[in-house]
Structure 1
């Protein structure tokens, strides 16, 4: 099949085969790939002139983690008691009130796989925060954390999700996907719940109508073909969500940052290419025809590349992230405030609209 026939198949939103998706990623000229993705964006998003953005805050529940991720500088092992923390309630209250003052409506709550923090800890935390701040939305705990909490609490992951939702969980972030290939997972995160477990928790969340995002951290030990397979896996999982359930609301790829990580000590360094990132964004819009939003990760790729991504299939600029520690601890230094992100969107030729986690306009 010729490339132009693959572009037509993509524009018809007919699912591509693995070989077809790989051929586009490997052979298509970037300009043609980006133009096809941009046309798809314009034909499928509710308002093609709008680029959305968000205000939220990433608060880490704890830095204690047993997963041993070799790309993470933020965690500490259980025996490193001098570095341990569990965020106290008073700090949550202060940060929530500051987030509200800055126009945010949500906490992104993440942490390590702490060996002692079971389901009752998170239920009590969520209920407390929601009772004090009824307008607060909790986008909390990636699939590996849910799996870990279930295991140490002697629960199924489905029951864990039900209990977390009853306590105040609104949405599930896509953290912990990295590259959805078991051989990559084994080297990157030897003690983290498996790729299959990540997929199962996400599917169960979708069965319960808990919306989530999907992510990819690329540019380390994976092959380009594994990136394409990652997208196909997400597309096929999204197809399994029940009718009327949102499932994955967005896909967010970001570049691996190596500074100070164990992977860097093993000789694996950041190898960022703007054209490679734009190729991935474009293919994401084409392959993920059933995931409505593609986010440009300005935090890891910078303003200019993110702006070009908005013409290559992306329709969202993510959050200004009042607070973030994990990616920045590995060398990501880009920053935006609210006016800065609005200006960047306007400079790219779009109208900025503030959104919530479900992509509903807030302004």
Structure 2
């Protein structure tokens, strides 16, 4: 018996059957997930999550990547915050005429890319708002110009919510809309807009947003067209642990069908400037549990990402011992989380990311959007 197994056997016998499943690469059930959330044995949960992470690599003959932690040189581009949505947890959205409302014209967006985006970046990440002035033609022109100016840069853009909106105002199907965008240069989709799939929670905090079922349907269509995507879960909006596990299991079911999700990103509500009170007052323990338990439940999604912008660089470092293997990236000019009071910086340099990762005993690996390795440091 290894030291880690011995520790679990002595200190957390109520989780030992789950530990055995992880050792033997067996899928966890909903009941297992709920027990993990109920447990206060954070270290054992973390040990299991990290074991699950390394087991995945061993099974796929990637033992050389066991200590890899990934990051990407990326730039966030937010084109407008004028939004028809009414999500109560969103501090970013504005109505036209509000103080701080903005919309980049197509010419302004192109100028921004020309003058403010480093030509060496590997990904430009475009997420904005539901604004009828940013229609399909606007985005097709933007994508084409982006590929003209940054031919070697991957474009990850448009949440499933934005895709549904563009399809609706263009009177096109989801498939037609995604095909048009892909032909113009779209490379993959981010995972935003998933929030919590629970209808009861969505009715309370984002009743006008597409349903969880529709979000999953759009992702399946995207995957069928060869567009990979990320997946997310937003905690701190009144959800229960059961809501979280149901959310993960729904993602796992889709991944079994499509294998299109590249990474799962737990997100956490920031309440400043929103219509929500601090529902759950999310703690560091809650955050760590979401990362570790998602690694344990989502056995078919390759990567778990800690978005340092949301949780801070120090806690992000800690998550690397709890099943996480990705710290996102340089994230230049992020606006959405900062609108809700995030106190982190808006970017990290390559050297800062490398330093943070090395201090955890891991190996920094620069990647592209679809996890091709660019350089091992």
Q: TM-score, normalised by structure 2?
A: 0.89
Give, in whole Å, the separation in 2 of the partners of 1:255 and 1:87: 31
Give, in whole Å, the separation in 2 of the partners of 1:307 and 1:167: 37
1:14 to 18, 21, 26: 26
* 5+ long unaligned stretches in structure 2: 1-12
What are the Cα deviations for residues 275-329 of structure 1, in whole angstroms up to 9, with x where unaligned?
A: 2211111111111000000012221112221111101100111112111001011
Give, in whole Å, the separation in 2 of the partners of 1:361 and 1:31: 31
User: Mean alpha-carbon deviation: is it higher for 132-141 or for 203-212?
Assistant: 132-141
8 A Cα contact 2:79 2:109, kept in partner = no
8 A Cα contact 2:89 2:237, kept in partner = no
Aligned to 1:203: 220
8 A Cα contact 1:62 1:87, kept in partner = no
Residues 18-33 of structure 1 aligned to structure 2 (within 5 Å):
18-27=30-39, 29-33=41-45
- Call closer, same or farther: CA 1:130–1:224 in 2, change over 3 Å: same
1:344 to 325, 346, 356: 356
Aligned to 1:261: 274
Cα distance, 1:89 vs. partner? 3.0
Is 2:368 the partner of 1:356? yes
2:330 to 320, 328, 334: 320
8 A Cα contact 1:63 1:86, kept in partner = no
Cα distance, 1:247 vs. partner? 0.3
* 5+ long unaligned stretches in structure 1: none
8 A Cα contact 1:144 1:198, kept in partner = yes
- Call closer, same or farther: CA 1:207–1:338 in 2, change over 3 Å: same
Aligned to 2:150: 133
Give, in whole Å, the separation in 1 of the partners of 2:135 and 2:106: 16
8 A Cα contact 1:256 1:270, kept in partner = no
Give, in whole Å, the separation in 1 of the partners of 2:46 and 2:100: 49
Residues 10-159 of structure 1 aligned to structure 2 (within 5 Å):
10-27=22-39, 29-45=41-57, 46=62, 47-78=65-96, 80=98, 83-95=101-113, 98-101=116-119, 103-159=120-176
- When the two chains are superposed, the root-mean-square deviation of aligned CA atoms in Å is 2.0
- Call closer, same or farther: CA 1:136–1:115 in 2, change over 3 Å: same
Give, in whole Å, the separation in 1 of the partners of 2:114 and 2:53: 34
User: Mean alpha-carbon deviation: is it higher for 110-119 or for 225-234?
Assistant: 110-119
Residues 210-289 of structure 1 aligned to structure 2 (within 5 Å):
210-241=227-258, 246-263=259-276, 267-268=277-278, 271-289=281-299
Aligned to 1:309: 319
Cα distance, 1:78 vs. partner? 4.4
User: Mean alpha-carbon deviation: is it higher for 49-58 or for 296-305?
Assistant: 296-305
- Call closer, same or farther: CA 1:82–1:40 in 2, change over 3 Å: closer
Give, in whole Å, the separation in 1 of the partners of 2:142 and 2:109: 12
8 A Cα contact 1:3 1:28, kept in partner = no
- Call closer, same or farther: CA 1:53–1:325 in 2, change over 3 Å: same
Runs of 4+ residues deviating >6 angstroms: none
Cα distance, 1:227 vs. partner? 1.2
Give, in whole Å, the separation in 2 of the partners of 1:353 and 1:321: 16
